[in-house]
Structure 1
Amino acid sequence: MSLLAQLNLVLKYSTPVGRAWLPILFIIRVLMAFIAETSVWKDEESLFVCNTQQPGCATLCYGHLHRFTHPQYWFLQLILVTAPTLLLMAYSLTRPEGSKAACDDWIAMESSQEGKSFSTKPLIASSISKKYYILSLLFKLILEIAFLVGYWYFVDFHVSEQYSCKNYPCPHKVECFYPDAFKKNVFIIIMLSLTGVSILLLMLELILLLTKKGCK
């Protein structure tokens, strides 16, 4: 409840669009990434096979194909995209009002351990200016776009059932076979769509705030 109270103050300048982003899109993406990691991408490397018995060839081909697995990339994306909001909460607590609230809460906890009666209040962050909230939105938008571009370099937009590999120690060009390609592509499409929706919502909220149509 304390974290929710802090988040509510940090998001005091957010529009209804921004308030929908965190509970809806973020939670859905976390759940989708978790399901993908624990079911579709589970034991993926052991199921990745190549038509050769050369030791180390299949392992090298799998590593060449994957700098990141898709779930690893999605979790990294979610952590970094939510980082501006978390940093904003941390900044609000370091301000004089937030620091005093933290001190009062610590004193109350110490009194509890000594058996004294007291009334507890949630740790409240001090309010922040509108420009900091707009900057956090801008950073989130840049990160979302950067991770979308990063698909070209770190993971694929599409998973093929068959993959050709020719690298040492493979003796020649070998064919490798990717497990559950159809299921993986379904998850990739869903996560790409959610990233696109997130970008649109962030852009819309920035427009509303910059045109002074957002509500506090």
Structure 2
Amino acid sequence: MVIGAGAEKVWGDEQSKMVCNTKQPGCTNVCYDQAFPISHIRFWTMQIIFVSTPTLMYLGHVMHIIHKEKKLRKYLQNQANGQGVKQPKYTNEKGKVEIKGDLLASYLTSVIFKILLEAAFIVGQYYLYGFVMIPKIVCTRYPCPYTVECFMSRPTEKTVFIIFMLIVSCVSLLLNIIEMFYLICRRSRRHNKLTLNS
């Protein structure tokens, strides 16, 4: 939502408003490509898609389990005694999902993948662009006739937006790390409780 609302307006002119001190055809394009191998907007869109994918896969797994256990509950209701038949493992009588066992493991896996992807995109952004929009780009690529200087439009505004997106990514990363430790602690507490009871 933030990308659609604000970033498009800030970065919509990044190539068209970049001014270089040469009129050589194609020079501005290659200088832009040197400075921005991938547009910030596209990079952040890819980040959102990649970081959301583990959650979507986990939700698909949950939906599959819920569907299987609903079928199992219907089967158990139709059976007279239900003895010797596998009981639903992840849903209670009301159909509420309990995160434990394989479901907890797949959720923890999705959180770990989100942490890795979020960290990879933060590092990737640093290596591709840095965290500050430099107003002047020096370019020596062909077809530029000599060392060309190009100037970005609104570099301060773009820097503010880059820092905002970096903060959002870091907060997301931190929350995922906290959630991972919470899940691991909860799982070990439950395991210790079961060990003491048996």
Q: Is the shorter-chain TM-score for this pair beyond 0.5, marking a shared fold?
A: yes
Question: What is the match of residue 198 of structure 1?
Answer: 172
Distance verdict in 2 for CA 1:167–1:131, change over 3 Å: same
RMSD: 2.4
* 1:182 counterpart = 2:179: no
Q: CA deviation at 1:208?
A: 1.2
| Runs of 4+ in structure 1 over 4 Å off | 99-102, 124-128
Partner SS, residue 170 of structure 1: coil
Counterpart of 1:59 (choices 29, 52, 60) is 29
Counterpart of 1:98 (choices 39, 51, 67) is 67
Given that 1:101 and 1:125 are in contact with CA atoms closer than 8 Å, whether structure 2 keeps it comes out as no
Distance verdict in 2 for CA 1:101–1:61, change over 3 Å: farther
Given that 1:160 and 1:181 are in contact with CA atoms closer than 8 Å, whether structure 2 keeps it comes out as yes
Distance verdict in 2 for CA 1:177–1:126, change over 3 Å: same
Once the two structures are aligned, what percentage of the paired residues are identical?
36
Question: What is the match of residue 133 of structure 1?
Answer: 107
CA distance in 1 between counterparts of 2:70 and 2:137 reads 58
Q: CA deviation at 1:182?
A: 0.6
CA distance in 1 between counterparts of 2:57 and 2:97 reads 13
CA distance in 2 between counterparts of 1:58 and 1:164 reads 11
Unaligned runs of 5+ in 2: 72-94, 189-198
Question: What is the match of residue 117 of structure 1?
Answer: none
Counterpart of 2:54 (choices 76, 84, 87) is 84
Question: What is the match of residue 146 of structure 1?
Answer: 120
CA distance in 1 between counterparts of 2:26 and 2:119 reads 36
1:1-52 superposed Cα distances (whole Å, 9 cap, x missing partner) = xxxxxxxxxxxxxxxxxxxxxxxxxxxxxx2222333211113211111000
What letter is aligned with 1:55? Answer: P
Q: CA deviation at 1:91?
A: 2.3
Q: CA deviation at 1:57?
A: 0.4
Question: What is the match of residue 17 of structure 2?
Answer: 47
Higher radius of gyration, 1 or 2? 2
Q: CA deviation at 1:71?
A: 1.6
What letter is aligned with 2:179? Answer: E
Question: What is the match of residue 24 of structure 1?
Answer: none
Partner SS, residue 163 of structure 1: strand
CA distance in 2 between counterparts of 1:36 and 1:71 reads 10
CA distance in 2 between counterparts of 1:82 and 1:205 reads 16
* 1:36 counterpart = 2:10: no
Q: CA deviation at 1:81?
A: 0.5
Q: CA deviation at 1:88?
A: 1.1
Distance verdict in 2 for CA 1:172–1:92, change over 3 Å: same
CA distance in 2 between counterparts of 1:125 and 1:158 reads 47
CA distance in 1 between counterparts of 2:27 and 2:96 reads 55
CA distance in 1 between counterparts of 2:9 and 2:35 reads 20
Question: What is the match of residue 89 of structure 2?
Answer: none
Given that 1:144 and 1:199 are in contact with CA atoms closer than 8 Å, whether structure 2 keeps it comes out as yes
Q: CA deviation at 1:213?
A: 8.1
Question: What is the match of residue 23 of structure 1?
Answer: none
Question: What is the match of residue 130 of structure 2?
Answer: 156
Given that 1:159 and 1:185 are in contact with CA atoms closer than 8 Å, whether structure 2 keeps it comes out as yes
CA distance in 2 between counterparts of 1:125 and 1:82 reads 24
CA distance in 2 between counterparts of 1:88 and 1:68 reads 29
Question: What is the match of residue 167 of structure 1?
Answer: 141
